[in-house]
Amino acid sequence: MVVGEVAVETDVVVIGGGPGGYAAAIRLGQLGKSVVLIEKEAMGGVCLNKGCIPSKALIHAAGEFHKLSSMGKIGIRLPQGESSFHMTEWQQWKSSIISQLNKGVSHLCEANGVTVVKGAATFLSDDRVGVETGHDFETFKFEHAIIATGSRPFLSGFLERDGTHILDSTDLLQLTDVPEKLAIIGGGYIGMEMGMAFSKLGAKVTVIEAAERILPQIGAAFSQEIQKQAKKLGMTIKTSTKVETATVVDGRVELRLFSEQDGEELLIQDKVLVTIGRKPNTEKIGLSQADVHVDERGYIPVDQSCRTNRPHIYAIGDVTPGMALAHRAAKQGVVAAEVISGLPSANDSELVPYVIFTEPQIAGVGLTREEAEQLGYDVKSAAFPYGANGRALATDQGSGFAEVIVDTKTHLLLGMHVVGAEASNLIGEGVLALEMSARAEDLSMTMHAHPTLSEVWMEAAASVLGHAIHVVNKK
């Protein structure tokens, strides 16, 4: 950088063009601010390019492919011969979706007056950001900045990613062939989503989880439902198991495992996916030069308005402590943009829904039964099975259940969780119900269209009140 170089002045610099960053930039544009959005890779961030969207495209393809094997049951005979999945063709389809969405985001930024700069950004001081644009170095002087640099897969010491055999989730979604044997280290939501998808596509999948059960963050009854389905798909689940070494030998990976129950074990796999967590991207952006603090794990603490310790610098999304979810980032982005523009917005709700695209899907919002009890609530809960819902049976999706957790005295809804088909879409009703402080009665007295899966909420709410129609109520 040339000292004394002229900096381009702007109201706000947004670092990172993921779902949080671009939402913030667009909102700032709407509110009349001059905005520079800096993205070093592709617009849309991990979510759009290597996370949510491509993984859901794979999960969709896997689901469709897998259904072919159960067509006979519902009276559909397919032409003779093996059906097959061609991952290279899937890659083309995936790319077309991503490029369509990339263009959409770029167009929206442009339409809202956002200046997009491609390059890697670094804070030079608390009011300047430098961007390496490949052949050039640009400086921007800002009034406010929003840090939205996101997170990346976390890899532990010996599990060194080589991109060919030992993969992170990004590499996995770039494969052009379905591996014959795939081991997944980490039975969290990414591990289970990918494991089930590849299993449906024909891979022999082994999931290795250090905790006592897969999906340790969600309720036990829900993870059991997934465990059951995983076994049906032919997956091997090894819980309370640790990976001691991983070595690549002759183009294959040798995993040495250890568990209390089985002792040592050697596993030879074609590919290994490591999904044991994510890490915030806060090291290489010069935070210390802007005097922005990070905690001991590298996250940037923020207040309700997404302000960091420097009141004119904001942080949103995966770089802030909390669940690494795109919808949380987008909400924070909008809040930060509005606060910068002088509006009294705040990220004031802890009702962040979670969605897991396993088979079947899981989604939820609010407290689990255990959490509610810990908070001192006198709790009642009831579950309604998909098996008693007409639509679920008529679409061959009869496994799963919906659970509502309420305060015994007031029937205030405290948590709504569902495992089953379309859980991801069903949870919308749950988030709204909780945000509106609805009671179980509000849910049960609201007419739900028949025959739809949404009836499971109405029935679960009626069940907690003791008058569900389609199950025998507990006395």
Active site residues: 450
| Strand partners of residue 317 | none
Q: Which string of b and e fits 36-52 if b means at least 16 CB within 10 Å?
A: bbbbbebbbbbbbbbbb
**Residue 2 or residue 436: which is nearer to other proteins going by CB?**
436
Of the residues 344, 447, 449, 475, which one makes contact with other proteins according to CB under 8 A: 344
**Is 43 a residue that touches other proteins (CB under 8 A)?**
no
**Is 342 a residue that touches other proteins (CB under 8 A)?**
yes
Stretch that binds other proteins, among 200-208, 211-219, 239-247, 374-382 (CB under 8 A): 374-382
Of the residues 41, 132, 265, 371, which one makes contact with other proteins according to CB under 8 A: 371
Stretch that binds other proteins, among 220-228, 231-239, 343-351, 445-453 (CB under 8 A): 343-351
DSSP state of 130: E
**Residue 203 or residue 440: which is nearer to other proteins going by CB?**
440
What are the φ and ψ backbone dihedral angles of 324, each rounded to 5 degrees?
-85, 80
Total binding residues for other proteins by CB under 8 A?
Answer: 35
Of the residues 434, 443, 453, 461, which one makes contact with other proteins according to CB under 8 A: 434
Question: How far, in Å, CA of 257 to CA of 237, rounded?
Answer: 13
- Can you tell me whether residue 139 is helix, strand or coil? strand
Of the residues 414, 426, 453, 461, which one makes contact with other proteins according to CB under 8 A: 414
Determine the angle formed by the axes of helices 189-200 and 52-67, rounding to 10 degrees: 40
Question: How far, in Å, CA of 429 to CA of 137, rounded?
Answer: 48
Distances from the Cα of 51 to the Cαs of 45, 57, 103, in angstroms?
8, 10, 17
**Is 33 a residue that touches other proteins (CB under 8 A)?**
no
**Is 351 a residue that touches other proteins (CB under 8 A)?**
yes
**Residue 64 or residue 350: which is nearer to other proteins going by CB?**
350
Amino acid at 444: S
CB of 317 to other proteins, least distance (A): 18
Which string of DSSP letters, residue by residue, matches 368-419? Answer: -HHHHHHTT--EEEEEEEGGG-HHHHHTT---EEEEEEEETTT-BEEEEEEE
CB of 109 to other proteins, least distance (A): 23
Q: Which residues bind other proteins (CB under 8 A)?
A: 143-144, 303-305, 307, 311-312, 339-342, 344-346, 348-351, 366-367, 371, 375-377, 407, 410, 412, 414-415, 434-437, 439
